[in-house]
């Protein structure tokens, strides 16, 4: 079996920045065991698997450990590959059928725009391992879907945060803060995903599905320019529209090849 494979840096225009995603173009959907093995072999935050359908593409995402229900950067990478490879016309909207329902991607002012579900949040208390990690160095905690949002005191605190993989291994966790007054961004964040095999995800679309409602309630607006302050770093334009979030980002292909299995 031969599978067309691309490695894409998403939420960046610069190679070797943003978040790495594998994109596999399929003629048929293999058994889950093979999909998991390919994702583990890639050892990227996510590998996307795309199968053409009558109305678009069936899209599945796998981390090195598990199948994911939602992934922003690998969806962005998938749309980028489909347009770049000439499989979809540049001005056409792409429809993806996923575990999170129908998602779409389109070109918007030179950026790729994804239409994703917004994720609500509610007040929460940190579990003991995260309380040990953060102590009193935070200003607010909420829980959104499957992850904690921990607001720190400053953007500098987010950038300088030193994670403890042992304390983070059982919980998905976003840390965030308002950007500094001189920064071009509205807020910054980082995301730790030990339970799915990703110690720190460089740039995370799904995290911003939670961060958009969170910061909308605090900043009293619905459009944001966001920065994920990982070592690789990445930028997102984020728009909250009721129960949907528009995620806009850029992407660049760094590997174009074939998986032979």
Q: Which amino acids are annotated catalytic? A: 46
Provide the CA 75 distance to its chain's centre, in angstroms.
8
Phi, psi at 88, each rounded to 5°: -135, 140
Phi, psi at 218, each rounded to 5°: -95, -35
CB atoms within 10 A of CB 41: 13
∠ CA 139-140-145, rounded to 5°: 155
| Two structure tokens written together for 171 | 């919980």
Handedness of CA 24, 29, 32, 37 (dihedral sign): negative
**Which string of DSSP letters, residue by residue, matches 159-195?**
HH----HHHHTT-EEEEEEEPPTTSS-SEEEEEEEGG
Distance in angstroms (rounded) separating the CA atoms of residues 96 and 105: 8
In 3-state terms, what secondary structure has residue 135? coil
**Which string of DSSP letters, residue by residue, matches 137-169?**
--SEEEEETTEEEEE-S-HHHHHH----HHHHT
Burial 108-127 (b: 16+ CB within 10 A, else e): eeebbbbbbebbebeeeebe
């Amino acid at each position: 079996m031969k599978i067309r494979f691309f490695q894409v840096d998403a939420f960046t225009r610069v190679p070797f920045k943003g978040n790495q995603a594998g994109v596999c173009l399929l003629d048929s959907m293999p058994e889950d065991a093979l999909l998991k093995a390919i994702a583990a072999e890639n050892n990227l935050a996510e590998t996307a698997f795309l199968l053409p359908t009558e109305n678009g593409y069936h899209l599945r995402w796998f981390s090195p450990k598990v199948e994911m229900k939602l992934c922003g950067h690998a969806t962005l990478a998938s749309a980028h590959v489909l347009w770049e490879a000439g499989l979809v016309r540049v001005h056409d909207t792409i429809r993806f059928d996923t575990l999170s329902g129908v998602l779409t991607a389109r070109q918007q002012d030179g950026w790729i725009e994804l239409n994703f579900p917004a994720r609500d949040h509610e007040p929460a208390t940190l579990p003991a391992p995260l309380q040990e990690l953060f102590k009193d160095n935070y200003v607010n905690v909420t829980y959104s879907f499957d992850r904690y949002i921990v607001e720190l005191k400053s953007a500098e605190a987010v950038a300088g945060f030193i994670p403890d993989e042992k304390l983070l291994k059982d919980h998905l966790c976003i840390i965030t803060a308002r950007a500094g007054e001189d920064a071009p961004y509205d807020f910054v964040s980082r995301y730790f995903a030990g339970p799915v095999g990703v110690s720190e995800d460089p740039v995370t679309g799904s995290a911003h599905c939670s961060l958009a409602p969170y910061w909308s309630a605090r900043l009293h607006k619905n459009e944001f320019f966001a920065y994920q302050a990982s070592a690789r770093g990445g930028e997102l334009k984020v728009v909250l529209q009721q129960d949907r979030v528009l995620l806009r980002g850029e992407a660049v292909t760094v590997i174009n090849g074939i998986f032979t299995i």
